[in-house]
Each structure stands twice: as C-alpha cells, then as structure tokens.
Chain A
Amino acid sequence: MNTIVDAQGSGSSGGSGSHSLPRQAERGVGREEATSYLTAGHGVKSWLFTTDHKRIAILYALTITVFFFIGGAAATLIRMELFTPAGDLVSAEGYNKLFTLHGVIMVWFFLVPAIPATLGNFLLPLMLGARDLAFPRLNLMSWWLIVIAGAFVLYVLVMGGVDTGWTFYAPYSTTYSNGYVVAAAAGIFVSGFSTIATGLNFIVTTHTMRAPGMHWFRVPLFVWSIYATALIMLLATPVLAMALLLIMIERLLGVGIFDPALGGDPVLFEHLFWFYSHPAVYIMILPGMGVVTEIVTCFARRRIFGYQFMVYALLSIAVVGFFVWGHHMFVAGQSMYAGLVFSFLSYVIAVPSAIKVFNWTATLYRGSIVLDAPMLYALGFIGLFTMGGLTGLFVASLPIDVHVHDTYFVVAHFHYVMVGGMVSAFFGGLHFWWPKITGRLYPEAWARFAALLMFFGFNMTFFPQFILGWMGMPRRYHEYPSEFQVYHVLSSAGAVVLGAAYLLPLGYFLWSLRYGQPASDNPWDAKGLEWRTASPPPKHNFPSTPRVDEEAYDYHPPRRPPGGHLDHPSDGRPAS
C-alpha cells in the first residue's frame, strides 16, 4: 500500500513531467546533507528572509520559545507571590503587571501561534503533498509581523508594564490604568494581522494545493484541525483588532464609545472582546486535537475511529464557537434571555468535544499500542482535555457560573484546556515530528520521564485551583484571606514540578541536535505524506508531486467482513 507513486515510476505517471531527483530509499540515512532545507542556504539572511515554510516554522518556533519562557517566568513569580497570603514578594501593582504580562504573552505570543504557526506551517504543505504554502512571502510577512508585535510587548515589559489584565476591559484600560496600555494593545493589534495572514495562507493552501488523489475526506485530521482553526482566525481576529484600535484611540484622544463618562457602554467592549476571545480558545485547542489524532493513530497502529465524525466535530466546534461568547458575561448585567441562549449553546458545543474524546478512546480498541513519549503526551491530553471540557459545563451553567465566575475555578478550567490540553499536544507533536524536522532522534527515556513529570506537575498545580475557586477565591488577587493558603501552597509546589518538566525538553532537544541519533525518513513507521520524504525534508519537500490513493491513517488493511461486502473507502461514513 504505497501512499505515493513518484518519480521512481512505479505505477501511474504522476511525476512524468517533473524533474526527478534521487529517491529517499537510495539516500537512506547517509543522504547528502546538502539537499535538506536546513542546509539549502547559509547565513542569517537566508533564514530571516526565507520563504521556505519549513524555515519559517523554525523561526516561529524559536520566537514562541522565547515568549514561552518570558511568560513562564511571570507565572513563576505569580506562584511565588501567592505562596503566602500577604503581598510580600512584589507590590500590588507589580503583581497586576505580572499576570497581565503572563496572559498577554501566553495567549497571543505563545498559544495562538504555537501549533498552527510552527507544526502547522512545517507540516501543512508536507501533509498535502505541496511544495510550499500558497503564499510564501505572505508567510514570511506573518513571522515578521509577530516579531514586530513582540517588540511592542517587550517595550512594554522594559518600560514598566501594563496592568489591565489580558482582557483590557474598559473603562479601566481607557481611563484608570497607569500602564502602557496603548503599546501593549498595539502589539496585539499587529499580531492580529500576523494571525490573519497565517490563517488565510492555510485555507487557500488546503483548498488549492492538495496532491492529486487527496480528496477532502483523505486529508489528515491535523490538516482539518488547522483548517478549522484558520477559519476562526480569519473571522474572529478582525473584531479584536477593531476593538483594540477603539481602546487605543479612546485612551489617546479621550473620545470613544466605551467609557460611560463619554456616554459609552463598557459592556459593548466586553461583547466585542469575547466575540474574538472565546473563539480564540478554539484557535488554541483545535490544532492540539489534530496533533493528538496523528499521534494516537500512529502509536496504536489503528485507523482513526469515525474519521468523518471527527471532521464534522472539528467544523461544528469552529462554527458554534462563534455563538457562545456571551457566557463570559452572565454576571455583567446581561438579560436573562441572552443568558439562557448562551448557556444553551455552551452546552451544545460540548457534544462535538465529547465525540472527539470517545473516538480517540475507541481508536485504541484492538490497537497495537506502544507508549512512547508522544503517545504519553497524547494520552495526557485526552485526560486533561476531558477534565477541562467537563468543567466547561460547570461554567456554562448559569447558577454555578454566578458563583465561580472570575474565581480560580475559571482559572483552573482554562488552564486545563490551554496548558493541560494545548501545551501537552504541542509537546507531543514536537516529539512526534522532531525526527522529521531536525533529522535527529530525541532520547526516549528522558522524554517519557518529562511527559510523566509534566502530567503530575500540571495536575498538582491546577487541581487545587478548582477547589480554591469553588471556595470563592477570586482571581487576580495579590493578597488573599488565609483560609485559602493550603491550596495556594499546593499549587505553587506543583508549579515547581511543572517548571522543571518544561525545562527538561529544552535541554534534551538541544542535546539531540548535536548528539542525537540520525533519524530515518520514517522512524515511527507512520502514515501520512510527510513521512514519505527525507528527514529533514529537501527544500521543495518532495522529489515530485506525490499521488494519494488511500484513506488517511491506513495502518491496517481494510478487512472483508463476514457479511461479504468490502468496507473499503467509504468506511465510517454516515449512511445518508
């Protein structure tokens, strides 16, 4: 079952007109380094102005790693401060600036670009069998934009910070804050264009550049997840950009539409903000779902259970995700009817998420499972995402939300989804595709250890926060009543473990770049077009355009069931 029929000429004439290069099999491990994308050009300029999607992915990865550790440092200081009830480590203003910085950096400069702009950028063309994204220069521009945006945020950091919270609620941000609101908002505004450009590129690429034979229901679910993510990026981000522009003008010129002193309504800003920021949560989690699907199928040697349901689930999350933003405003004076509608839709959106969890679990059935590091991360993702998703039902319920809104319960909930879910998936994906990206194997034992440590550290950090929130501890508190201390201490202790677990991969990944064993083209024996080219891939990905003649995740041959009919390609499709 060869996925690809290429210049070697076995079978149909897909690549007849193309320039044929030596095939991977002939090159094997000892292939000429000169052909890889990493060595296709030398010097700083060949990187900073590259239009190769793989190099841009590396640039993104380096950028967001820097931001991840800045945001992580802020989180460390926050957890240290909260070790005791009194505000003794940093000042109240310092604390407010820390959590704002943590939120702004982690949301816009880590989570949103994390999987799409690194793994997505690297893998999308490879998985589709394309030579590059549709608009390579636009892709480069996206990266430059996020660097410029990051410069704004670093400027804010150096000059003394901003203390509005990542939500920038008016009128605090427009009138009362003393921080560098305009510069921070400008940074996010610019990063928005980066996000939009990336999303546009991904959608057009998926539509127009699939290899021959790759029809829509043969596309890997990672690509589907990136596609659904890109839809949200395109339709939600402009609203945020506009809302932040209004905030900047209101703060600079003293005219605007949010401050009640100017005749405006602060709740309008909340609506505009959450119209972006709720869908943005799905920007942050959908790509993680895609990564987990790739990993689970590979390490269980199974086709994904219910491929089409997985696709529909992704798309319905992306669409319904646009209509639940009001559940962030249950206690902001929204009418009862609005509250009911948003609560209802928030329950509805849990259904596709549940479908995905069940399908991943069912995929394991009758598998041939190996618990390598990527699989450990993926299993961790499923567990933590299940908890994050289920606690989403709590905050979707009106009476419970009235109690736990703006408490640590919400903090724990979204960290379970963002950190337990997304970051686990990101690390899983990083391990899974590390051999493809760098051509080196990472040390497996260390990686498994780090994965387990991350799982335990994470739960220890954030599970106590559920209890804190249920007990009534409000978020964004610099000082707190002493009855909450036990849980804060537990949480801070967990954060130490979690911090160590994040540093480990940084160490052994760097080590593996130099000392890791060279990876073969397909070390996991995985399906998917990206494994059919060299590790690391040549500049234009494939010697010639591949041709696809099988379903995604073809890990085991379709079986002729006792009934007699061959359940080949239309497996799992709902009978209409």
Chain B
Amino acid sequence: MEGLSFFPKEASTFAPRTDAVFFTLLGLSAFMTLAVAFLLVYFCTRYRRGSKARHGGRVSKLIDLEFEAGWSLIPLFIFLFLFTWAAGQEFTLFYPPKDALEISVVGKQWMWKTEHPGGQREINALHIPIGRPIKLDMVSQDTIHSFYVPAFRVKHDVVPGRDNEMWFEAKEPGAYRLFCAEFCGTDHSRMIGTITAMPPEDYARWLDAQPTGETLVAEGRRLYHELGCSGCHEAGGSVRAPPLHGLYGGPVPLEGGAVVTADERYVRDSILRPKSQVAAGYKPIMPSFQGSIDEGELQALQAWIRSIGDGGKEG
C-alpha cells in the first residue's frame, strides 16, 4: 500500500495515544541503551589493561550502597510512572461507547465474514464510516483467530466458544490492512483483508448500493420460528418455557437460588447447553442446539434476543 516506511498510518483515535506511549518508551530506551553502550566502550578504553588510568582499588562501601539504591529506585519510579500512564491510555478500550455501530464478525479457517446491521455482508473486507465508534461482535467457527488492524492499533483474539468484542473509531478515510494475528492453521497468512474507512455520507451510499440480505435481527427472528423455539417460548405454547421478550439485560433467577444476568454468554449457554442454567420455576426440558446451528446463526439469535430485551425495541 505504500513504499518504504518506518511508521504505520495513524488512522484511528487510539493510534496517536498508543504512539505517544511508544515514542516515550522509545526515547527512554534509546537513552538507556546508548548510556550503557557509551559506558561500556568508555570503561573498556580507559581501563584497558596497560592504560595509564588508575586501576584497582575499591569504591567505598557507602558509595556502593548509594549507587545500588539509586539505580534500583530511579528505574522503579520511572517504570511506575510509565505503567500508570500507559495503562491509563487503555481503559477506554474496554468500554465501547453506547452509540457504537455494531458489526458482527465471524472468523473461520481462513476468512473473515462481516455483516452490517442492515444485513449487508462482506468477506475479507469491511466498510466503515469515519468519526463514529465501531463495535465488533466477533465469534469464531473453529480455532482461535485474532482481528488485527495495524493502522488502528487494535487487535483482539477471537476465541471460539466466547463472545469477543472490540471497538475503535477510524478518523481518516483510506484502505487499511486487516490481518489474522493468531496462528490458525495452514492458510493463516491468507486470512487477511481490507478495512475501508469512508466519510459517513459515502458509507451510507455504499450501504445502499449493497444487496441487502436479511438483517441479523431478522435472521434471528426467522430462526426463532424455524427452529421451533417459538413453540414453547411464546405464551400459549404447548410446553411452558420462559418468555424471551424483555429478558435480555435483566436478572434471571435460577433453579437452586442463584441469580444471573441475561448477557451474551447466558444466551449462548442457554441455547447450546440449556441444562447448565435452568430458570427458576421451569423444567429442564429444552434440547441442546449444540451442533445443529453454527456460530453465525447463534449470533443472529443472540442479536434478536438482545433487540427484544430490556429497554430494547424489536428492530
């Protein structure tokens, strides 16, 4: 994408902060390395055997101690400062803003599948608007992958069996590399793609030009009926099962007294291993869907259940 360069583009809001830490550390390291190198060379020249400098003798005990204390404590304080500062840059990465645009990502050997909220799908590519936080909901179909965009300075492993999320905000339009950073098998090095960041209006235009498939939420609602979930979970069904409307985000009392929050993990577990957490007052009769639905379908169901959750509206 560019010729010889020492410096990856700073294309996200995280990038300048990461780089500030990086260059501070680089300056400090360069100083320390050069200082040590200088002293090594200087001492080796000045105190080479046969030189006129004064050899031998002992630096007094007191000075020993002062030196030791000095070069233990000074680095410690510098390191503590650096740690605090660097860690402070990182807090935000763990808390995606509420208004983020949510895009779902499925990693599999060896491709990235992405899907926009409007149902537009891409493979090994992702178009995003600049100036808006993007939150990725990522799942893996097989082994561990890692979603890495160097120009954004972000990376997150996509661990199978978990709902992984990350967020970023692009600030400059352009095409950026997407890599899989966690070794995932034979064609690991081909599991790459392009992130295209564009101004919001262009993004809107691009979205319109795409064939809109079913949205994730719509797919989830369809699966809910097709897989027969509605037979029990709808009021008036033949078998009594907990209603799903208003469930997401709220507390769920379990058989046995515990209370859990209905989050992504709870929904995933309830679909794949229904017996693991049985809602209080219901019988453990739901069959497991492990093996009969794939990660993409699971994600759709989660999206739909979330959309009808506490405070959410069906979309």
Bound complex: CA A394 to CA B143 (Å): 28
Q: Which stretch from B41-49, B116-124, B213-221 is at the chain A interface?
A: B41-49
Residues A163 and B44 in contact in the complex (CB < 8 Å), given A339-B90, A402-B154, A561-B60: no
Chain B CB within 10 A, most for which of A261, A332, A559, A574: A332
Q: Which stretch from A10-18, A169-177, A491-499 is at the chain B interface?
A: A169-177
**Do A331 and B25 touch (CB < 8 A)?**
no
Chain A CB within 10 A, most for which of B58, B72, B187: B58
Bound complex: CA A423 to CA B18 (Å): 33
**Do A399 and B183 touch (CB < 8 A)?**
no
Residue B36 lies at the interface, judged by CB distance under 8 Å to chain A:
yes
In-complex Cβ contact of A163 among B144, B186, B190 (8 A): B186
Bound complex: CA A149 to CA B90 (Å): 43
Enumerate the 7 nearest inter-chain pairs by beta-carbon distance, A residue then B residue, closest first: A260-B161, A472-B150, A364-B43, A477-B189, A397-B86, A398-B90, A390-B29
Q: Which residues from A are CB-within-8-Å of B54?
A: 366
Residue A136 lies at the interface, judged by CB distance under 8 Å to chain B:
no
Q: Which residues from A are CB-within-8-Å of B79?
A: 347-348, 350-351, 393
Residue A320 lies at the interface, judged by CB distance under 8 Å to chain B:
no
New A-B pairs, 9, CB < 8 Å, besides A351-B72, A351-B76, A402-B155: A92-B189, A365-B47, A366-B59, A383-B36, A396-B83, A470-B6, A477-B188, A483-B5, A567-B60
Q: Which stretch from B61-69, B99-107, B252-260 is at the chain A interface?
A: B61-69
In-complex Cβ contact of B164 among A333, A382, A475, A575 (8 A): A333
**Do A472 and B177 touch (CB < 8 A)?**
yes
Bound complex: CA A472 to CA B91 (Å): 22
- A sample of 23 inter-chain contacts (CB < 8 A) reads A92-B187, A92-B188, A172-B184, A261-B160, A305-B67, A306-B68, A331-B146, A351-B75, A366-B53, A366-B54, A366-B55, A368-B49, A369-B47, A382-B36, A396-B83, A400-B86, A402-B90, A467-B6, A472-B151, A476-B189, A481-B177, A559-B58, A572-B61
**Do A472 and B59 touch (CB < 8 A)?**
no
Type the 1/0 row for B160-179, where 1 means its CB is closer than 8 Å to any CB of A: 11101000000000000101
Bound complex: CA A169 to CA B29 (Å): 32
**Do B43 and A367 touch (CB < 8 A)?**
yes
In-complex Cβ contact of A165 among B68, B94, B177, B183 (8 A): B183
Residue B14 lies at the interface, judged by CB distance under 8 Å to chain A:
yes
In-complex Cβ contact of B56 among A354, A400, A556 (8 A): A556
Chain A residues with a Cβ under 8 A of chain B = 87, 92-93, 96, 163-165, 167, 169, 171-172, 175-177, 260-261, 263-267, 300-301, 303, 305-306, 309, 331-333, 336, 339-340, 343-344, 347-348, 350-351, 354-355, 357-359, 361-362, 364-371, 379, 382-383, 386-387, 390-391, 393-394, 396-400, 402-403, 405-407, 467, 470-472, 474-481, 483, 486, 556, 558-559, 561, 563, 567, 571-572, 574-575
State the majority secondary structure of interface residues on B. Answer: mixed
**Do B143 and A176 touch (CB < 8 A)?**
yes
Bound complex: CA A559 to CA B184 (Å): 63
For the A-B complex, the count of residue pairs with Cβ-Cβ distances under 8 Å equals 281
Residue B226 lies at the interface, judged by CB distance under 8 Å to chain A:
no
Q: Which residues from A are CB-within-8-Å of B153?
A: 399, 402-403
**Do B68 and A574 touch (CB < 8 A)?**
yes
Residue B40 lies at the interface, judged by CB distance under 8 Å to chain A:
yes
Q: Which residues from B are CB-within-8-Å of A406?
A: 146, 148, 155, 181-182
Distance from A150 Cβ to chain B, minimum over Cβ atoms (Å): 24
**Do B40 and A369 touch (CB < 8 A)?**
no
Q: Which residues from A are CB-within-8-Å of B185?
A: 96, 163, 172, 176-177
Distance from A264 Cβ to chain B, minimum over Cβ atoms (Å): 8
Residue B273 lies at the interface, judged by CB distance under 8 Å to chain A:
yes
**Do A472 and B57 touch (CB < 8 A)?**
no
In-complex Cβ contact of A266 among B21, B89, B144 (8 A): B144
**Do B181 and A364 touch (CB < 8 A)?**
no
Residue B39 lies at the interface, judged by CB distance under 8 Å to chain A:
yes
Residues A263 and B273 in contact in the complex (CB < 8 Å), given A367-B43, A386-B36: yes
In-complex Cβ contact of A559 among B8, B25, B57, B148 (8 A): B57
In-complex Cβ contact of A403 among B2, B53, B155, B187 (8 A): B155
Chain B CB within 10 A, most for which of A387, A399, A467, A572: A399
Residues A343 and B43 in contact in the complex (CB < 8 Å), given A177-B185, A332-B159, A559-B57: no
**Do B143 and A172 touch (CB < 8 A)?**
yes
